[in-house]
Amino acid sequence: MALVVQKFGGTSVADAGKIKAAAAKAIARHAAGDQVVVVVSAMGHQTDILVDLARQISERPNAREMDMLLSTGEQVSVALFAMAIQAAGHKAVSLTGAQIGIRTDSTHTKARIQSISTDHVRKLLADGAIVIAAGFQGIDQNGNITTLGRGGSDTTAVALAAVLEADVCEIYTDVDGIYTTDPRMLPEARRLASISYDEMLELASLGAGVMHSRSIEFAKKFGVPVLVRSSFKDVPGTLILSAEQATPRPASGVALAKDEARITLENVPDQPGSSHALFSRLAASGIAVDMIVQNVGQGGRADISFTVPADDLAEALDLSRAVATTLAAAGVSHDGELAKVSVVGVGMASAEGVAGRMFTALAREGINVRMITTSEIKISALVDRKDGPAAVQAVHRAFGLEAETVDGAADAGIVKPEKSSPLEVVRRLEGMEDLAVEDCILDASQALVTFTELPDTPGVAADVFEELGRAGLFVDMIVQSHPRDGRAELSFTVPAERRDRATDVARTIAAARGATVADVPHVAKLSITGVGIRSHAGVADRLFKPLADEGINIDLVSTSEVRLNVIVAAEHGQKSLAVLRKAFGV
Ligand code: ADP
Ligand code: ASP
Ligand code: MG
């Protein structure tokens, strides 16, 4: 007998007929001898309707009351779902988040799960009932209703699957699996038979709305196999599983975050502590920053740029202006009309020329790249919002993602890890959804090459990385600053033993473009690995502070959901490692 969690999204329970059809799926599973927990979203666009109603009453509705309101959507659907099962002659019990015992913190409208009690659910299952759990909601320590953030029912489902040690968590939705990019935006996208947790985590957090990214944090941390499939068509779907079980590809998918904003603090004194001053203020307000780019700067001053979701722009701008004044920065600029296109693949780290392919594709479309950051498994480029869809298509084609056929049936591949295999670190966490840091490592094998004064025209990054690719150079980290006065700065790391070659190639490119090149033969790269690194506001800051306290300056930063990388001077490598190990408790 297996234990299965089935989650039905809004479109899958949009009307009475659809609720009955979904209920039939749960009944069939139960009749086959399995224990079934169903997690349900609000019907159709009910949550949007409630948000809209609140806005008609107040411009800034109180967050606690917002949660009280929004949680009603799921309460309606669980009751109807349970009735549908009962009407078909089977046992079912509906439960709210509070009734299950989903305890969260008190961050209304984006609460994180701390613990889930399983006693009540297990007893009902043992009694032969199908348990219908309300998605997206919980209760804080004072008994207030909380919600997990839009799309949060996925997170409820995977978290329940984790604590119940379910054999699989099935996500029923209006697409028949995970595609190489949003099939609504690009019809030539194709379905993947499987994808790794890390790739899905990145894609979801970089804009693929098909899964709530926090649900994948749970899946990875607790080793829950997740199967995404259609509510309406009986096709295999996509299995989300561990990297060892997934096929490594240079590119698995492309995501677009449509509403991004960039803020730049100009001419900030380039000294330890400046970044900390800024990012600690943002973290304290719960704003998760994404791309962070600090250019080398001149005369002891540098620009610090970062991106936030456009919704957070106003608040982030207020905070940035206040910090800019304290730091005596020259000013603050911003752009709220941007989008971020990212390509994700676990095989990227061992494939050459990936960056060249991406930037050449964008250049061919005449798309100007505003900022670049990379991690081991993704490359993100900031572009003008109007260029977003064309950028996705160009990058998707550049990696041939439209061409391959779907390999195999997902159902065939479900392998539940031996005992649900939570990472060792999970045991040290206080709350289930706390940031899980696995390790901190030092790589002293790389050199840093930096272009300054590169003209801000489409195709520059393409030229650079095509040329480096032709020279057979393997590029690791890439960071391109936000251009100022028509000139940008572009840094990348290569293996130290290839530094001469890399610098030669870079000088040739620079000469043709009126740019200059500087290089550092040996730098130290420190990486913090774990789960949920970018989505937990304040992780970047936990890194800036201890380094600043030791007087260590950071040259480059890149963030992803599973890794945070920084480059510091080689002589600070060992010291930085010790400091960071202590700061992150590893
Ligand atoms: P639900 O209401 O079931 O939770 P969502 O609307 O949250 O469904 O998610 C499903 C939608 O996600 C799809 O209709 C699709 O347009 C969108 N989507 C975005 N990126 C992807 C992707 N890479 N693969 C599949 N669907 C995607
Ligand atoms: N009903 C909530 C929303 O629309 C949660 C969910 O559907 O996952 O955001
Ligand atoms: Mg959803």
For residue 320, what is the enclosing H or E element?
helix 313-327
Amino acid at 362: L
Task: Residue 240: name the closest of 262, 255, 225 by CA.
Answer: 225
Distance CA 64, CA 109 (A): 8
Burial group, residue 426, by CB count within 10 angstroms (0-12, 13-18, 19+): middle
The residues of the chain that CATH labels 3.30.2130.10 are: 255-401+436-584
Contact (CB, 8 A) for 421 and 511: no
CA of 177 to the centre of ligand 1 (A): 9
135 lines ligand 2 (CB under 6 A): yes
Residue with tokens 């400046």: 274
Amino acid at 545: K
Amino acid at 534: R
Give the position, in ligand 1's atom list, of the atom nearest the Cα of 171. Answer: 3
Distance CA 323, CA 315 (A): 13
Residue 521 in 3-state DSSP? strand
Residue 339: CB partners within 8 Å, gap ≥ 6?
Answer: 256, 257, 258, 259, 260, 382, 383, 384, 385, 387, 388, 391
Rounded to two decimals, the pTM is 0.93
The residues of the chain that CATH labels 3.40.1160.10 are: 3-251+410-428
Q: Return the pLDDT at 154.
A: 98
Looking at residue 441, what DSSP letter applies?
E
Q: Return the pLDDT at 411.
A: 47
209 lines ligand 1 (CB under 6 A): yes
Which token pair is 179?
A: 């595609």
- Report the nearest-CA residue for atom 21 of ligand 1: 182
Give the position, in ligand 2's atom list, of the atom nearest the Cα of 136. Answer: 5
Ligand 1, from 182, 200, 238, 254: best to mutate by most atoms within 8 Å of Cβ?
Answer: 182
151 lines ligand 1 (CB under 6 A): yes
Q: What is the mean pLDDT of each run of 10 residues along the chain (586 residues)?
A: 97 98 98 98 98 96 97 98 98 98 95 95 98 98 97 98 97 97 96 95 94 95 96 94 86 96 92 86 88 78 91 95 94 96 91 89 94 92 97 96 64 54 65 89 95 89 91 90 88 94 94 93 94 84 88 88 92 96 90
CA of 85 to the centre of ligand 2 (A): 22
Ligand 2, from 11, 153, 172, 211: best to mutate by most atoms within 8 Å of Cβ?
Answer: 153
Match domain 255-401+436-584 to its CATH number in 3.30.2130.10, 3.10.20.30, 3.40.50.2020, 1.10.357.10.
3.30.2130.10
Region of 177 on the Ramachandran plot (φ > 0 left; ψ -120 to 50 alpha; else beta) = left
Residues with CB under 5 A from ligand 3 (ion): 9, 151
Residue 451 in 3-state DSSP? strand
- Report the nearest-CA residue for atom 17 of ligand 1: 210
233 lines ligand 1 (CB under 6 A): no
CA of 152 to the centre of ligand 2 (A): 6
Ligand nearest to the CA of 231: 1
- What is the dihedral sign for C-alpha 353, 354, 356, 360? positive
Q: Return the pLDDT at 413.
A: 56
CA of 74 to the centre of ligand 2 (A): 8
Contact (CB, 8 A) for 493 and 477: yes
Q: Return the pLDDT at 316.
A: 96
Beta strand pairing call for 3-8 and 35-40 = parallel
Residue with tokens 């700061």: 583
345 lines ligand 2 (CB under 6 A): no
- Report the nearest-CA residue for atom 6 of ligand 2: 151
Q: Please tell me the class of the 3-251+410-428 domain.
A: alpha beta
Task: Residue 261: name the closest of 555, 482, 489, 562 by CA.
Answer: 482
Q: Return the pLDDT at 404.
A: 63
